[in-house]
Chains A and B, each alone.
Chain A
């Protein structure tokens, strides 16, 4: 009895699911994931433009999207150069943070003494607001560029260090026993067990550090207030504010946001590529 029941129901759902499948082909999940935010963006821009025009908001209060786009094009020589400066600081700081953080984390994992001696100071450096340290750093460094680099490095370095150190410590106990049973050397255990096991932790640290490096590069430049040819986006932003050049301020802001988003996507992609074969976080569950 129960076998014959589903027959009419299934024919009904099959036509329904056929329609849904056709929809699915047009609106594949990835397409939807891109399409929806883009539509949302255009909607917001349209409302913004309409609001500014309809209410005759002066551009030094709120410029229209068209004005901001104009500023982006017109001021590109200035803003582009500033972007390059900010990017240079951000990525140099990030790379140095990765190298330093991982090296120190490995050192810490190998010796309790190193951990006791170093870790508390890393924490102190981290919890002290970077804006408060930056004036000192600017005094002690030969150039503003170096000062900015050091500030960004301090901020980006800690998540890498603490995540990697945590990862190196959380190796599965039984796997460690297994390596011990087979008389693995300290280096074999480090390279074939601890480091691969710490990789997901490190990558989580990388994703945080990428965003923080940019933030710190901007914050430090606010504090340092560099000027001239070597100035980055933060300085251009402040400068635009002083001159009430609000369209340019918005343009600089957009460049910073886009940079932040791109860094986030880049670090997420790296993480996905490295973990997709095995780690839970990169799995698309099929159940």
Chain B
């Protein structure tokens, strides 16, 4: 089996935005979810985490988001400012697998939330909130309640809420897993357009080989039990990527490589 890129072969980004250094995570019930996971995420990359269920993708993402500290190892933010307590203040946003909206709040209020928590009034937040809603094409639904929206629209509200703080790093945990393929393709394209436009860094967890190849500049395949980085491959295709990319040979080759890597990772994972 050959891969275009191995961890050693990847051109290391000049200044990573965030690095996991030998991070391990053991849960209180004894589950070793991650073991010695090291990963550098460069500024402006679109990195997909791909791996079998239970390999620790969500755990890794949550550690990067600061939700739950690693049991050992460390998390570095080389380029970000540190506040007085020494705690990094990176602009991180998280998109959960479910929309995770507050059902009692309107679309506007849901998107306003991150700013509200920073003490920005409803009025003062208006232009930012409207801009974020416009990015996901929901400017007409400000006053709707979540229950009045379709699944795809809820997901877009959730994305707008993540964007409203203008994050430097966007963490997405299988955000489109519950959506139908057409909506999913559309949101994929929207996400790529925004990413190119604003130069964010994205870490995107997915189960889908096709989705990861279509979106990412780099795919990190993980193996399970214990969770670790198995293969780290680049997707050498230029952006912008449109629907014609899905039929190109580069796309096919990358899909084959990624799914081979995923198979190998499955085999390398100790059975549960």
Contacts and interface: CB of A to CB of B under 8 A. Distances in A.
Interface of A: 172, 174-175, 177-184, 188, 192-193, 196-197, 199, 277-280, 283
Contacts of B93: 181
A182 B118 contact: yes
Nearest to B92: A181
A192 B105 CA distance: 10
Contacts of A199: 104
Contact of B145 (A175, A180, A183, A278): A278
B70 interface: no
A197 B103 CA distance: 9
Interface residues of B, number: 23
25 contacts: A174-B96, A174-B98, A175-B100, A175-B102, A177-B62, A178-B96, A179-B117, A181-B94, A182-B114, A182-B117, A182-B118, A183-B117, A184-B117, A192-B113, A192-B116, A192-B117, A196-B102, A196-B104, A197-B102, A197-B104, A199-B104, A278-B145, A279-B103, A279-B104, A283-B147
Q: Is the interface of A mostly helix, strand, loop or mixed?
A: helix
B226 interface: no
Contacts of B165: 182
Given A183-B117, A192-B116, A278-B147, A172 B100 contact: yes
Given A178-B100, A197-B102, 10 more contacts: A177-B62, A178-B113, A181-B65, A181-B66, A182-B114, A192-B113, A192-B116, A278-B146, A279-B103, A283-B147
B113 A182 contact: yes
B67 interface: yes
A193 to B, nearest CB: 7
Contacts of B102: 175, 193, 196-197
Q: Identify the 8 closest CB pairs spanning chains A and B, nearest first.
A: A174-B100, A182-B117, A278-B103, A196-B104, A278-B104, A174-B96, A184-B117, A182-B114
Most A Cβ at <10 Å: residue of B65, B98, B113, B145: B113
Most B Cβ at <10 Å: residue of A174, A184, A283: A174
Nearest to A184: B117
Q: Is the interface of B mostly helix, strand, loop or mixed?
A: loop
Contacts of B145: 277-278
A199 B100 CA distance: 18
Interface in B59-98: 62, 65-67, 92-94, 96, 98
Most B Cβ at <10 Å: residue of A177, A193, A199: A177
A278 B149 CA distance: 12
Contacts of A196: 102, 104-105
A277 B145 CA distance: 8
Contacts of B117: 179, 182-184, 188, 192
B147 A177 contact: no
B94 A178 contact: yes
Contacts of B67: 177, 180-181
Nearest to A277: B145
Interface in B112-139: 113-114, 116-118
Nearest to A189: B117
Interface in B32-77: 62, 65-67
Contacts of A280: 147
B82 to A, nearest CB: 15
A177 B94 contact: yes
Contacts of A174: 96, 98, 100
Contacts of B98: 174
Nearest to B93: A181
A135 to B, nearest CB: 45
Contacts of B62: 177
A181 B170 CA distance: 12
